[in-house]
Amino acid sequence: MEYRIEKEKCIYNMSANNKPVLMVPSGSTVRFETYDCFEDRIQDAGKGIENIDWEHINPATGPLYVEGARPGDVLKVEILDISINDHGVMAAIPGSGLLGERIEKAEVKIIQIRDGQAVFNNSIKLPISPMIGVIGVAPQEDSIPCGSPGPHGGNMDNTKINKGSILYLPVFVEGSLLAIGDLHACMGDGEIMVTGVEISGSVKARIEVIKDMNIKNPMLEDEENIYTIASDSNLFAAVKKATEDMHEFIMKRLRLSFNEAGMLLSAAGNVQICQVVDPMMTVRFALPKIVLRDGSNG
């Protein structure tokens, strides 16, 4: 059975106070229909970005209550499929992004999706690589805008959260209250201009509660790598958090000493940037799975 949540059932803040729109048992498959980050309000280039309601940015569909999820558990979210619309939108916004102080005038660009490509202009076509920008659970305290990342997940803008990947989120409140939104047809690591190819669509995910796993920040795996993910207002601090999380993980997993684990990460690990345009910047630390397989057999 596949459950479905319509995009009209969405939130703008992740909070324990949000009422769940659907309750499912662990192991369920759920399709989340999603708005784009502008709530589908920009459908042509003539729609000025200045007319956007900035209180309704990055809506996330949900929240979903997962039965059996308790604080201290981990929510395993397997991304089975990502479907996207036939067009997306990009924007240049004065004062936003790494080049924001040099942007003199706001500009909107509609990007058509044709034959598996994002048509940037008549001569530039980019292969699509659909990914999820916002995915997270309710935080332990307070209410966090969907546009902000943190230990709960949120707006991580991690290009590796795509079809076939598995995301692990720490659970802070009963039921977890999972929400998903902010899809991109394609996006570069860093998202330096604040928008990727923002697009509406849907995400099909299998969701399971894990009882014997304890993490402080999100983790991710795909066919080739395992990743630790961390966010902070200081980029170096985010790098350090992600590195420390991976270091702790492999010390336990491979039974290595502190020094050995650090040397292994220095030889085989990769620090990668997710996004550097939110007040809380996000990085991931990637480690090839082959290292874990070889180490476990050693």
Superfamily holding 2-210? Acetamidase/Formamidase-like domains (2.60.120.580)
CATH of domain 219-297: 3.10.28.20
List every span in the chain annotated with CATH 2.60.120.580: 2-210
How far apart CA 38 and CA 28 sit, in angstroms, is 29
How far apart CA 260 and CA 250 sit, in angstroms, is 10
What global pTM score does this model have?
0.96
8 Å CB contact between 113 and 123: no
CB atoms under 10 Å from CB of 146, counted, come to: 26
How far apart CA 288 and CA 284 sit, in angstroms, is 13
pLDDT of residue 297: 64
Percent of the chain with pLDDT over 90: 90
pLDDT tens digits for range 41-70: 998 877 767 667 777 899 999 999 999 999
List every span in the chain annotated with CATH 3.10.28.20: 219-297
pLDDT tens digits for range 122-163: 999 999 999 999 999 999 988 999 999 999 999 999 999 999
